[in-house]
A and B are shown apart, each in its own frame.
Chain A
């Protein structure tokens, strides 16, 4: 039996969430493992959201924002990008494979790209196997 990962995805309202909506209206099919949370801007994605997702049992976290230069709020995506690189290093030190966290720019017209990303990231996380952070924390406590 294949392991079915659970992936929490944070999508900005203006580009990426709309792109994911477009994948839907175009009836593109992708992995059901992706579960989406809408934020207004990728700049709103507090590192805590990512860490808590892993702590609560996510096997992967996907962040999507507007392409550079296209942010509805001018530069929120750049701030997200900086945090992302720091977070990658941070989670590695916490014993979480940095491959479980991924950031990609998805515009409002990139429904196809979103569907492909959902599939490819699901496969990546499936390959990494279950994330045991939640169990470890529970046992530790």
Chain B
């Protein structure tokens, strides 16, 4: 075996790590550990000069392994693996110790944080002794793309990809394209007609030679991996169709909150209490009328119905405030002498043109009344025959400090936007993560808001978080550009951390075969040993922890590597201070 020569690099991350961890002390102490040839600390290891430092050290000191103590490997592991490749080393001769997310940002005592950092780096140094060079596997990319969801996001991505000459399969659960945007009348804040914007795009999708649309169709199962996914779908004529594609875009959009969950608002009990989505249908019909066909004189718009309230959804639904302002304007035009009340918790109309819309609306004799969600929600009740209106809304008005009653003939509830009802099922089908609110999680909230943690699967539009049309379109086109990039390259390199069988020690018990979730292991009857299909294996390592003889190894997460890491982690010299 060649001599192990390790370089250790401790990152300051500006002040992010250095403030809580004595990086110089860590670096000094690591230099004393066996096989460490050089140990350094540096302001920003991920910067070009930081990477160049590694590359030049590898050459100068003949390093064959590199440990970087910095942020989470989920952020920069690939960056440093690339740097190793540039230095002529195998990228798997690298290990990261996470001393930012798991140390400096979460602890208060500098002394103990420094000790913990040392133990994590020592563990990485111990582990890396046993690292093995692994060869990357390149897979060809099927140039077709599957898009799930035919709303504005799915349509935008489909056109972008199809216009570049690549095949798109657009699968839509309902009987028509257009999604949420097709249900609304005018788009806030610039009052474009939604139908005029979206209908030509839908037409274009239907006649596009590179787009195949499947309506009334749902995805039941997807198998494969980046470059080579496949699914079987059943179309409206009950025919089973097999599709193959290299990338997937999820664009299933959102659902809206059911306001009957909040009893205060009497939704479903008083017919003139309607949701914002129902009002869009009223607006499309051209006439704003109450349930009994009269012109309403008092119109109240209640904000944050199900949003920003820990009993329902803690988050802001983002789109409601500017839509509520839109309704005030439309009602004012339709019924010039109406009393209009915006009953809001906080005005959060943001984005291009929204603040201007707010200012303009406030000049149109609209009453803005504030309530505080913490002090109870407004209560809607039917008015008595003495009152000159159908309903009364009672609440503590925050700015005046008084409890007031507002008359209403029509109440519009600005319902929260929530994750699509099918989101969880789809996430499990394709194998991506969801946040606590069941929106899909992107790979990185700042640096990679389009991809997911599963290669080849992208999320766009409101299935990731409530979004307006311009943001959805931007994200859709970004995903399309990413996919076109991989198609253009023709192939992509994938992880090779699959399982591997040592035929000499395999006893043929087939335990691994029974635990593999991907049927990636088969049994060679002639040799009486298990055989791993590397294409099907996704490297979860479940077989490795079930094998009684240790014959099956999860590469890059071998028993020996992890056991060495444990030993390093528990090294006595880095024990915590008592007291």
**Interface residues, chain A, with chain B CB atoms under 8 Å away:** 1-4, 6, 8, 13-15, 17-18, 20-21, 23-25, 27-30, 32-33, 35-41, 43-49, 52-53, 56-58, 69-70, 72-76, 79, 83, 107-110, 115
Contacts and interface: CB of A to CB of B under 8 A. Distances in A.
Contact of B540 (A1, A38, A43): A43
A57 to B, nearest CB: 4
5 contacts: A4-B575, A21-B98, A21-B101, A73-B431, A76-B540
Interface string B118-157: 0110010000000000000000000000000000000000
Given A74-B517, A76-B542, 4 more contacts: A6-B576, A30-B107, A49-B562, A57-B570
Interface in B452-486: 453-454
Contacts of B544: 44, 46
A43 B545 contact: yes
Interface string B419-439: 000000001100101111000
Contact of A57 (B116, B572, B577): B572
B235 interface: no
Nearest to B495: A40
A36 B545 contact: no
Nearest to A115: B106
Given A27-B106, A79-B515, A44 B542 contact: yes
Given A45-B545, A72-B431, A32 B579 contact: no
Contacts of B441: 108-109
A52 B554 CA distance: 18
B116 A32 contact: yes
Interface size class of B (residues with CB under 8 A): 35 or more
Contact of A37 (B517, B539, B562, B579): B562
Contacts of A40: 497, 539-541, 554, 557
A112 B417 CA distance: 24
Chain B CB count within 10 A is highest, among A15, A21, A35, A83, for A35
Given A4-B578, A44-B557, A24 B106 contact: yes
B576 to A, nearest CB: 4
B510 interface: no
Contact of B433 (A14, A29, A35): A14
B557 A73 contact: no
B545 A37 contact: no
B109 interface: yes
B557 A28 contact: no
A38 B576 contact: no
A29 B107 contact: yes
Chain A CB count within 10 A is highest, among B72, B109, B115, B428, for B72
Contacts of B224: none
B65 interface: no
A29 B578 contact: no
Contacts of B264: none
Pick the 6 closest A-B CB pairs, nearest first: A24-B101, A44-B541, A43-B542, A46-B545, A73-B540, A1-B579
A2 B112 CA distance: 14
Contacts of B76: none
A102 B297 CA distance: 62
B74 interface: yes
Contacts of A25: 101, 105
